[in-house]
């Protein structure tokens, strides 16, 4: 194979498996209007077959059954895929953007700016994530916009971005410190190149080692985190198409009945399966990129 990059990419089974898994979810999200046509104007509003009743087993009309109050599980799983992508990608991109900015500026200019930036980073790292989410939620407690996961859970997303960029900043700062000492950067400084040009043309493109690995793993991790926060009741009570919301509704039916402990499996097994597969896909992509981009692991992998 002429292209060595493609050779390394295709040599990683973890990367291939992760990409295939994520592509399946991409297809589901793209085809959601065809797979589970919405009943009204809001596709994230769970359709219901009636108003009162216990959960109901899967049927041709409802492939994954009905939840409490007769909400359709299948619709929530399909449209929840879009919510998962939105939550995972938005949070990860926000973290990456803040961390990249802080890390590059702190690493390149150093001195007091570096010291202050790293102390702020340490302060944010010491703050518990759940407590941070609860603080941000209090700012939107009177505003339905801030807590409903059907619209992306803006308050939770903001909290996880503001209190999750620190790893990116530390990683980029360390890479920038290495690149700043290289001869090509010193040469650019000696000929009078501006700091902005040196940063964007020389330092930043060569200081991204490990960034995409961290970002790929973070996408799946953020979906799991938001699901856990939703399960704990930090995203409102509106029945919307969200995997965490389905688990929250189904928690009262996990034990089942004295006759059959797993009688209501269709309420909690499907969301658990898709959450695990979604996070596994992004985790495999991260592991695969690590194998491909790390020369030491790449050498061992290709033997």
pLDDT in tens, 13-44: 888 899 999 999 999 999 999 998 887 777 88
CA distance 164 to 218: 10
pLDDT at 230: 84
pLDDT greater than 70 at residue 210: yes
pLDDT at 294: 64
> What per-residue string of b and e applies to 103-140 under the rule 16 or more CB within 10 Å gives b?
bbbbbbeeeeebeebbeebeeeeeeeeeebbbebbeee
The band of 279, judged by pLDDT with boundaries at 50, 70 and 90, is very high
Residue owning tokens 């940063």: 199
Residue owning tokens 């200019």: 109
Contact call for residues 287 and 10 (beta carbons, < 8 A)? no
CA distance 237 to 90: 23
CA distance 226 to 84: 9
| Cα distances (Å, whole numbers) of residue 68 to 3, 81, 235, 263 | 54, 21, 19, 13
Q: Stretch 71-87: mean pLDDT, rounded? A: 91
191 three-state secondary structure: coil
pTM of the model as a whole: 0.86
| Helix extents (H) in 31-128 | 32-35, 73-109, 111-125
- What six digits make up the tokens of 153? 């859970």
pLDDT greater than 70 at residue 88: yes
pLDDT greater than 90 at residue 11: no
pLDDT at 140: 65
In tens, the pLDDT along 222-262 reads: 999 888 888 877 766 677 888 988 888 888 888 877 777 78
pLDDT greater than 50 at residue 145: no
| Cα distances (Å, whole numbers) of residue 248 to 55, 68, 211, 245, 259 | 14, 11, 33, 5, 23
At residue 210, φ and ψ (nearest 5 deg) are 85, -10
Share of the chain above pLDDT 90, in %: 31
- Radius of gyration in angstroms for the set of CA atoms belonging to the chain, rounded to a whole number: 23
CA distance 81 to 31: 10
Confirm or reject CATH 1.10.3720.10 for domain 29-281, answering yes or no: yes
CA distance 281 to 76: 20
pLDDT at 20: 94
* Residue in 227, 217, 238 with CA at minimum distance from that of residue 156: 227
Residue 237 DSSP label: S
| Cα distances (Å, whole numbers) of residue 189 to 178, 179, 185, 196 | 16, 13, 6, 11
| Cα distances (Å, whole numbers) of residue 158 to 87, 99, 135, 137, 146 | 10, 15, 11, 10, 9
45 three-state secondary structure: strand
pLDDT greater than 60 at residue 293: yes
The band of 300, judged by pLDDT with boundaries at 50, 70 and 90, is very low
- What six digits make up the tokens of 182? 């290289």
Angle, helix 154-162 to helix 73-109, in steps of 10 degrees:
30
Angle, helix 73-109 to helix 166-180, in steps of 10 degrees:
40
């Amino acid at each position: 194979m002429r292209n060595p990059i493609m050779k390394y990419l295709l040599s990683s089974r973890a990367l291939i498996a992760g990409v295939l898994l994520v592509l399946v979810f991409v297809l589901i999200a793209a085809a959601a209007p065809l797979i589970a046509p919405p009943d009204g104007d809001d596709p994230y509003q769970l359709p219901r077959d009636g108003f009162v009743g216990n959960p109901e087993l899967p049927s041709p009309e409802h492939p994954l059954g009905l939840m409490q109050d007769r909400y359709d599980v299948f619709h929530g799983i399909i449209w929840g895929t879009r919510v998962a992508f939105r939550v995972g990608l938005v949070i990860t991109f926000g973290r990456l953007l803040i961390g990249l900015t802080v890390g590059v500026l702190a690493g390149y200019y150093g001195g007091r700016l570096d010291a202050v930036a790293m102390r702020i980073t340490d302060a944010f790292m010491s703050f518990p994530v759940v407590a941070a989410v609860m603080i941000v939620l209090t700012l939107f407690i009177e505003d339905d916009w801030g807590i409903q996961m059907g619209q992306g859970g803006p308050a939770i997303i903001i909290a996880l971005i503001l209190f999750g960029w620190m790893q990116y900043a530390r990683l980029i700062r360390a890479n920038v410190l290495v690149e700043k000492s290289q001869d090509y950067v010193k040469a650019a400084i000696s000929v009078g190149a501006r700091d902005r040009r040196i940063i964007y043309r020389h330092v930043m493109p060569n200081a991204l080692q490990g960034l995409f690995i961290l970002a790929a793993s973070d996408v799946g991790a953020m979906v799991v985190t938001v699901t856990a926060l939703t399960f704990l009741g930090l995203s409102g009570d509106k029945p919307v198409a969200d995997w965490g919301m389905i688990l929250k509704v189904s928690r009262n039916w996990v034990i089942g009945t004295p006759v059959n402990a797993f009688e209501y499996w269709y309420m909690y097994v499907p969301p658990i399966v898709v959450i695990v597969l979604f996070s596994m896909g992004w985790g495999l992509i991260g592991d695969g990129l690590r194998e491909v981009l790390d020369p030491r692991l790449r050498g061992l992998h290709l033997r």
